């Protein structure tokens, strides 16, 4: 199995290079509209944005690259935020959307006003926008395929993400498809962990008394450590818990691996995808011919490269890849990673 770093680099280097003119966007203003910041993945995403865009502003690539996060994960609030960004004269809006369809009206308003809209992670379906997506459904399915290789069968606990968000629905759909196709498992219970370990721990603790023995826990990221703490507190046998690349999850996994050989896998989208979306927006503003739909791989960690991944992940953070302008050009030139 390749290491996390090798996989990420190989995916980038395998693409063709797109020939583009030097940047002429030094007077352009790009805004990030983010619908939620209540977990470690979103915090890492915002830190990645701040680091990469801050350097771009210092180097004169763009004039501004401000980030705005709504107080609540509400479509109406984010739609109003987008309308405010239009009025404030931003040239591009990079968007992590609360809904794939619910923001289409506001996105259309932006496009009609000449504003470039690039959605990522939580993408939108409005045709005028660009989309940078991970195959979240496949990510969920891969969790079950991994478990099918490890187990003869059993009951699963599903920890979902933030209710009503496209990402949550897509990952869950992939999990259920994997369960149906493998024919090995039953989903004995499902809770929403909001991609946050404290929420997940409470939710799992609440449902555990009603569940049979759980062979494995399928997750969406940010919930694996909380699940482990809930099982430990309940005195239940520790199942295979699929992790989501958070530092606390990877740390717990390594401790268990060292103590008793505990084995699992971990998978998530890299928070630095926000920086890829920034560079895509910059390239659109610069006149590049950019496909409307771009795909990036999810980031997977396995038993053999756990230590390397953990070493590269900052405490409180998430295993990550930040993207450069050259990376964006390669993605644009290849159409997919």
Domain 136-268, CATH number (from 3.30.70.240, 3.40.640.10, 3.30.70.100, 3.40.50.2300): 3.40.50.2300
Distance in angstroms (rounded) separating the CA atoms of residues 176 and 179: 5
In the chain, domain spans: 4-134+269-300+319-334, 136-268
- What is the residue-wise DSSP string for 164-183? T-HHHHHHHHHHHHHHHHH-
Same fold, 4-134+269-300+319-334 and 136-268: yes
CATH class of 4-134+269-300+319-334: alpha beta
| pLDDT attached to residue 5 | 40
Answering whether pTM is above 0.85, one says no
Return the half-sphere exposure (C-beta side, CA atoms, 13 A cut-off) of residue 82.
32
Which residue has 């929403």 as its token pair?
Answer: 192
Beta bridge pairs of residue 156: 187, 216
HSE-CB at 173 with a 13 A cutoff on CA atoms is 10
Each of the 337 residues of the chain gets a pLDDT tens digit; together they read 334 443 344 333 333 333 334 458 999 999 999 998 988 899 999 999 999 999 999 999 999 999 999 988 899 999 999 999 999 999 999 999 999 999 999 999 999 999 999 999 999 999 999 999 888 999 999 999 999 999 999 999 999 998 988 889 999 999 999 999 999 999 999 999 999 999 999 999 999 999 999 999 999 998 999 999 999 999 999 999 999 999 999 999 999 999 999 999 999 999 999 999 999 999 999 999 999 999 888 899 999 999 999 999 999 899 999 999 999 999 998 744 4
E strands present in 281-334: 293-295, 299-301
The rounded radius of gyration (Å) of the Cα atoms in the chain is 20
């Amino acid at each position: 199995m390749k290491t996390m770093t090798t996989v990420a680099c190989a995916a980038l280097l395998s693409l063709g290079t797109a020939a583009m003119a030097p940047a002429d966007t030094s007077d352009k203003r790009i805004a990030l509209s983010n619908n939620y910041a209540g977990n470690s993945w979103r915090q890492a995403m915002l830190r990645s944005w701040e680091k990469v865009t801050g350097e771009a502003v210092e180097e004169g690539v763009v004039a501004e690259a401000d980030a705005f996060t709504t107080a609540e994960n509400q479509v109406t609030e984010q739609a109003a935020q987008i309308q405010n960004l239009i009025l404030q004269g931003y040239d591009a809006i990079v968007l992590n959307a609360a809904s794939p369809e619910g923001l289409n009206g506001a996105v259309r308003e932006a496009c009609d006003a000449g504003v470039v809209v690039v959605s990522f992670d939580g993408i939108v379906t409005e045709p005028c926008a660009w989309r940078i997506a991970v195959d979240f459904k496949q990510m969920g399915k891969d969790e079950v395929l991994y478990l099918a290789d490890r187990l003869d069968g059993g009951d699963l606990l599903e920890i979902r993400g933030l209710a009503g968000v496209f990402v949550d629905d897509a990952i869950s759909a992939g999990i259920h498809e994997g369960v149906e196709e493998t024919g090995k498992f039953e989903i004995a219970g499902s809770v929403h962990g909001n991609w946050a370990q404290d929420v997940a721990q409470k939710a799992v603790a609440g449902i555990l008394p009603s569940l049979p023995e759980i062979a494995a826990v399928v997750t969406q990221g940010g919930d694996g450590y909380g699940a482990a703490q809930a099982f430990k507190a309940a005195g239940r046998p520790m199942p295979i818990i699929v992790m989501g690349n958070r530092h606390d999850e990877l740390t717990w996994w390594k401790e268990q691996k060292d103590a008793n050989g505990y084995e699992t896998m971990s998978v998530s989208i890299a928070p630095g995808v926000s920086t890829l979306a920034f560079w895509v927006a910059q390239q659109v503003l610069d006149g590049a011919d950019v496909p409307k739909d771009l795909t990036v791989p999810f980031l997977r960690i396995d038993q053999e490269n756990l230590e390397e991944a953990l070493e590269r992940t900052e405490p409180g953070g998430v295993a990550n890849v930040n993207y450069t302008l050259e990376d964006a050009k390669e993605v644009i030139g290849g159409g997919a990673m």
